[in-house]
């Protein structure tokens, strides 16, 4: 959450490539010097957030999605939620029965992540309409100042929530004090922190700390690392994350990297305008971050700001067309979150409310179904493979293009203006299948004036040879039906070269998928399945003469009702098998 309300003299911040950042030694003796890179599976589900909310509004917000059959995995409570900045104590008026809220949301399958920064205020305010009023200093400010727990001798800095001082993460006693204040909420079961960049408002630099003078970059890294390491120690890697900024250039600040890649389980680029300028800005920041090694990237779907971040007199009107296009891009990133100053929901967007709801449902359900895929490509990246988001071209090539490949599988070509039409150059070295039409095109081809005037769609292609794991529960994306629930859904586009994919399963084991074809057959191999497999195999126009001894079923309904068999649907062949290792061979 960000709103600049005062004119302050800011020092330029140094832009430092993440690959050159040095690890700081901070915290207590029991802290590890390195943290294993990991993002839990649930973090790949759709997230939602409002700029300003309350307890009752949070229930209505989440239930509004659930009632409209739109999946939600995480609810972020942005500021204001505390009694002051920053106390880690929920405001009992704004969020009554906070423990019950956390429990009730978990019963809905929704985790709660809380916004905070590293600042402790002497004076606090919310400039936004609907915010809170604060009487006096944050209750922990005097203790922190008395014990030298703040940087720069507790010099007050003006930031967008008041005047305060930054916690000294190079002082072991300050770290112990700061961590203890977080413990009640961690014990309660919150799933993580959204860490905003309050440190950018520290104007006295280099920064005086208990360990000597430190650069802003060193202080930033210490801030984000400390929240992560303490949460992991208290909650464990499966139940805790931090949401941080990777590369960011917002307001009057120079662009730089904030948290280190290894301290960024989820990295979001925020404070973008809610228009086409903002969408390109978000893509630029994600691309720079991907090139620097950040793994789980995303943006605020639909943009955050209703004004320009540099010239605040420029108002940015809401655009439904931009919003739904951004929803599609957000769904095709590892991290998807709805968040904005307008506190939008799909059902409050006008005009074209029904279109917005159905479009949001399609893309959020696709993002949910892709959890096994996104979790697995992130795990591979943490083990040394390429990061999931791979920008096409160099920085100079990105403007008004911003194509990228996700997981060496999907080519995403964002729509970047109101026309809904754009050229789509297909990367050389492979054939590409249109997600919507099934048309196959050789790489190196430029599809001129690709028509995506249907605002529920963006140009989306799959590389031939890909094999993708999905978790499908219904027919929302035409990738299965309710009978697919609890089965492993596998999408395969066999090529003449055998391709493999390692699935990191929810039970901690792995499943190996592979696919290949020759002149007479196509094969999909699944090394293990607990509850059976539903496979969709792309065959173009090839005739099918048999499928591994299974019976042909003539209708979709018959296929859905059967325990095994196959069904031809246009250019795709659907195959259903039982549990265990499977080799699905299609003769053609």
Outline which parts of the chain fall under CATH 3.20.20.80: 18-116+169-193+211-388
Dump pLDDT digits (tens) for 382-419. Answer: 999 999 999 999 999 999 999 999 999 999 999 999 99
| Nearest-angstrom CA–CA distance, 142 and 165 | 11
Q: Is the pLDDT of residue 175 over 60?
A: yes
| Nearest-angstrom CA–CA distance, 138 and 294 | 35
Q: What pLDDT score does 16 carry?
A: 36
Dump pLDDT digits (tens) for 467-500. Answer: 999 999 999 999 999 999 999 999 999 999 999 9
Write down the CATH superfamily of domain 397-463.
Golgi alpha-mannosidase II (2.60.40.1180)
pLDDT band at 32 (very low <50, low <70, confident <90, very high): confident
CA distances, 348 to each of 90, 189, 285, 449, 575 (Å):
28, 31, 29, 32, 40
Q: Is the pLDDT of residue 23 over 60?
A: no
Residues 461, 465, 466, CA angle at the centre, nearest 5°? Answer: 60
Q: Is the pLDDT of residue 1 over 70?
A: no
Contacts 24+ apart (CB under 8 A), 277-281: 278/303, 278/304, 278/305, 278/316, 279/303, 279/322, 279/325, 279/326, 279/329, 279/414, 279/416, 280/399, 280/400, 280/402, 280/416
Q: Which CATH number fits domain 467-587: 1.10.569.10, 2.60.40.1180, 3.10.28.10, 1.10.760.10?
A: 2.60.40.1180
| Nearest-angstrom CA–CA distance, 538 and 556 | 17
Q: Is the pLDDT of residue 355 over 90?
A: yes
Which residues, other chains included, contact 344 with Cβ-Cβ below 8 Å and sequence gap of 6+?
302, 318, 323, 338
Q: What pLDDT score does 8 carry?
A: 32
- For the ranges 22-26, 294-298, 331-335, 407-411, the lowest mean pLDDT is seen at 22-26
Outline which parts of the chain fall under CATH 2.60.40.1180: 397-463, 467-587
Which residues, other chains included, contact 312 with Cβ-Cβ below 8 Å and sequence gap of 6+?
4
Average pLDDT, the chain: 94
Residues 503-510 have a mean pLDDT of 97
Question: Was domain 18-116+169-193+211-388 assigned CATH 3.20.20.80?
Answer: yes
Q: What pLDDT score does 277 carry?
A: 97
């Amino acid at each position: 959450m960000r709103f600049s309300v005062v004119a302050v003299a800011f020092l330029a911040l140094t832009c430092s490539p993440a690959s050159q950042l040095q690890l700081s030694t901070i915290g207590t003796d029991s802290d590890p010097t390195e943290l294993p890179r990991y993002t839990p599976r649930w973090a790949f589900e759709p997230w939602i957030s409002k700029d300003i909310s309350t307890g009752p509004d949070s229930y209505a917000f989440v239930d509004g999605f659930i009632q409209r059959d739109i999946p939600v995995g995480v609810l972020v409570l942005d500021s204001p939620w505390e009694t002051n900045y920053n106390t880690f104590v929920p405001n009992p008026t704004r969020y009554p029965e906070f423990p019950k809220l956390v429990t009730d949301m978990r019963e809905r399958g929704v985790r709660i992540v809380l916004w905070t920064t590293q600042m402790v205020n002497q004076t606090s305010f919310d400039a936004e309409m609907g915010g809170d009023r604060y009487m006096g200093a944050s209750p922990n400010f005097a203790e922190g100042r008395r014990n030298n727990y703040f940087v720069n001798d507790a010099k007050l800095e003006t930031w967008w929530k008041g005047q305060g001082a930054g916690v000294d993460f190079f002082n072991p006693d300050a770290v112990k004090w700061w961590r203890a204040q977080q413990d009640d909420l961690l014990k309660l079961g919150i799933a993580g922190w959204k860490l905003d960049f309050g440190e950018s408002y520290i104007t006295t630099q280099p920064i005086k700390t208990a360990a000597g003078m430190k650069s802003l970059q060193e202080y930033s890294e210490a801030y984000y690392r400390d929240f992560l390491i303490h949460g992991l120690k208290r909650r464990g890697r499966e139940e805790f994350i931090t949401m941080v900024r990777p590369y960011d250039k917002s307001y009057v600040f120079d662009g730089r990297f904030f948290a280190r890649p290894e301290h960024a389980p989820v990295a979001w680029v925020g404070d973008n305008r809610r228009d086409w300028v903002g969408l390109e800005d978000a893509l630029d920041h994600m691309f720079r971050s991907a090139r620097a090694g950040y793994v789980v990237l995303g943006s605020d779907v639909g943009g955050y700001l209703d004004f320009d971040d540099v010239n605040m007199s420029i108002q940015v009107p809401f655009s439904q067309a931009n919003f739904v296009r951004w929803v599609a891009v957000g769904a095709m990133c590892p991290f998807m979150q709805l968040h904005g100053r307008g506190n939008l929901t799909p059902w409050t967007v006008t005009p074209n409310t029904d279109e917005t709801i159905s479009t949001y449902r399609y893309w959020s359900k696709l993002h949910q179904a892709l959890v096994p895929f996104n979790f697995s490509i992130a795990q591979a990246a943490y083990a040394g493979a390429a990061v999931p988001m791979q920008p096409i071209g160099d920085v100079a090539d990105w403007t008004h293009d911003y194509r990228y490949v996700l997981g060496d599988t999907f080519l995403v070509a964002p729509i970047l203006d109101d026309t809904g039409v754009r050229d789509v150059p297909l990367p050389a070295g492979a054939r590409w299948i249109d997600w919507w039409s099934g048309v196959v095109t050789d790489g190196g081809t430029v599809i001129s004036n690709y028509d995506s005037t249907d605002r529920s769609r963006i140009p989306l292609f799959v590389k031939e040879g890909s094999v993708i794991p999905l978790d499908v529960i219904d027919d929302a994306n035409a990738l299965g039906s309710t009978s697919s629930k609890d089965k492993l859904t596998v999408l395969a586009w066999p090529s003449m070269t055998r391709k493999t994919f390692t699935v990191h399963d929810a039970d901690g084991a792995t499943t190996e998928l592979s696919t290949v074809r020759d002149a007479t057959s196509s094969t999909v191999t699944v090394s293990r399945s607990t509850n059976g497999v539903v496979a969709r195999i792309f065959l173009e126009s090839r005739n099918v003469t048999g499928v591994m001894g299974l019976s042909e079923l003539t209708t979709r309904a018959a296929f859905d009702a059967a325990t095994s068999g196959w069904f031809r649907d246009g250019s795709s062949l659907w195959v259903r098998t039982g549990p265990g290792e499977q080799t699905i061979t299609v003769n053609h």
